Structure formats: structure tokens, C-alpha cells
Amino acid sequence: MVEAQCSVQLCFPVELKNENMMEDIQFVGFLSKLLETKILQVLRFKHGQIYSAGVSVFLGGNKPSRVDNVRGDISVNFSCDPDISTTLVDLALEEILRLQEEGPTDEDVLTILEIEQRAHENGLQENYYWLDRILRSYQSRIYFGDVGTSFEVQEEGRSKVRKTLTPLTAQLALRRILPFPCKKQYTVVILMPQRSCFKKLKLFIHSAPNRYSRDAKILAGMAGLTVLVLSLWRYSRSSLKS
């Protein structure tokens, strides 16, 4: 019988400064793939505790503006055994902190570049990808009536990040975009599964002997106290009559 899994979300606030806006937006995409890959390696392949992990990005945490910083969050999501959920959160935090302090390896960077390129090429064949590109171009700060120009600037930013992505630039981006150290500011939400009727019955049966034993002792004590009170009352009555 498969045990019910809990859902875990580990969330970090993000604030992209206006002066590095376009470059950092591209960095966020590459960093999300890096975090997803490394956390999956640690929690699944090293510790064998999860099947999959995902990293999602939300950058709409403030009102549309051409001058303010962009705010949002980066969230790590996975499912696991409820009994070890907090332990896995600690392991994920340790891995992210290690990346911030030591940086990824050259192999990690090559892997991320390959994953991003494959996703980009596959996306070009899909309608949803182009719908998303058009929407983001209209909503972009660089849009001033020409969607084509927005496309070009975004693609230039992507190409620039790909060319400059190294273990060092990735490490600096992790420190700049996420809270550093990451344990300084984060939010964890764990959705626990509801116990089945079978588990509730099993728990009740296991706890019943202890509970009944405790209740029996309490009842025995109350009975003894009652007998004592009645004895004292009868004694007092007999003393008054004599």
C-alpha cells in the first residue's frame, strides 16, 4: 500500500533591480533550471526520497511600472513522505546555500545550457510558447509600440546570458537574485495528507490500552476518595448521636 504524500513548497522572495533588469530576468530562467536539477540530484538520486522536483518563477508581485524594481518569488516544489518533509526542506536549503557559497561546477553549467537550449528549440515548435512570448513582449518595459523590437531585445539578453554563464556568474546571480544567505529569508508551506479511516482506527486501537489504563486509575482514585468521605461522614454522625 502506497503511503500518502505531502506537498512541499519552499519559497524565496525575489527583487530584481531596475539597472540590471533585462539581464537578471534571463538569469532567473537559467537559475531555476539549475536549482531544479541540483535539488533533484540531492533529494532523489543521493537520498532517494522524492520522484520529482520543480522550480516555478513568479515576477508579478508589484503593479506594472517602468521604473520600479520587479518583485516576485522563486519556489521549489516536491512531494515526499510526511514524516521526513522538514528534513528534506533542510537538505534543499543546504544545497542552495552551498551553490551560493561555492557556486556550481563547470559540468553543472554545461548541463543547464543544454537543458535550456533543448527547451528553447522545443518551444519554438509550440503555439503556447509564441503566445507567451507575445504576451511578455507587450507587458515588457521595453515595449513602446513595436513587438518585434521587444523580441529582439529579449533574444539578445538570452544570448548574452548564455555566453557569459559560468560557475562564477551563476554564483553571483544566486547571491544577487535570492536572499543571501538563502536561510535568512524563506517561507515553507507543507500540505499534509488527511489520515485514512484505517490509520485512525489503528491509532485508536494502539492508544486505547494506555488511555483505558489511565482512566481506570482515575476512577479507582475517585472511588477511594468517595469511600473515605462517606466513612468520615458516618463517623461524624455517630459521634454527634453519642
pLDDT tens readout for residues 200-233: 556 556 655 555 556 656 666 666 667 666 666 6
As a whole-number percent, the residues of the chain with pLDDT over 90 amount to 53
Based on the fold, state whether residues 184 and 207 are members of the same structural domain: no
- pLDDT tens string for the chain (242 positions)? 446 899 999 999 999 987 778 889 999 999 999 999 999 999 999 999 898 999 999 988 777 777 788 899 999 999 999 999 999 999 999 999 999 999 999 999 999 999 999 999 999 999 988 888 888 788 777 778 888 888 888 889 899 999 999 999 999 999 999 999 999 999 999 999 886 655 655 655 665 555 555 665 666 666 666 766 666 666 666 655 55
Based on the fold, state whether residues 40 and 11 are members of the same structural domain: yes
The confidence score (pLDDT) of residue 161 equals 94
Q: How far is CA 61 from the centre of its chain?
A: 18
Based on the fold, state whether residues 215 and 133 are members of the same structural domain: no
- Give the model confidence (pLDDT) of 109-130 as tens digits: 999 999 999 999 999 999 988 8
Based on the fold, state whether residues 208 and 137 are members of the same structural domain: no
Q: Domain residues for 205?
A: 198-242
Q: Is residue 1 part of a domain?
A: no
Instruction: Give the C-alpha separation, 240 to 242, whole Å.
Output: 5
Based on the fold, state whether residues 215 and 110 are members of the same structural domain: no
Based on the fold, state whether residues 54 and 166 are members of the same structural domain: yes
The confidence score (pLDDT) of residue 1 equals 43
Based on the fold, state whether residues 145 and 122 are members of the same structural domain: yes
The confidence score (pLDDT) of residue 205 equals 61
Based on the fold, state whether residues 178 and 155 are members of the same structural domain: yes
Q: Is residue 227 part of a domain?
A: yes
Q: Is residue 106 part of a domain?
A: yes
Cell of 136: 511578455
Cβ atoms 175, 93 nearer than 8 A: no
Based on the fold, state whether residues 241 and 121 are members of the same structural domain: no
Instruction: Give the C-alpha separation, 149 to 153, whole Å.
Output: 6
Strand order across the 53-58 sheet? 53-58, 70-80, 6-16, 187-191
Q: Is residue 112 part of a domain?
A: yes
Number of domains the chain is built from = 2
Based on the fold, state whether residues 86 and 179 are members of the same structural domain: yes
- In the listed set 176, 191, 206, which residue is the last one of a domain according to the structure? 191
The confidence score (pLDDT) of residue 211 equals 56
Q: Is residue 132 part of a domain?
A: yes
Q: Is residue 105 part of a domain?
A: yes
Based on the fold, state whether residues 233 and 171 are members of the same structural domain: no
Q: pTM for the full model? A: 0.76
Based on the fold, state whether residues 233 and 151 are members of the same structural domain: no
Q: Is residue 22 part of a domain?
A: yes
CATH for 177:
3.30.830.10
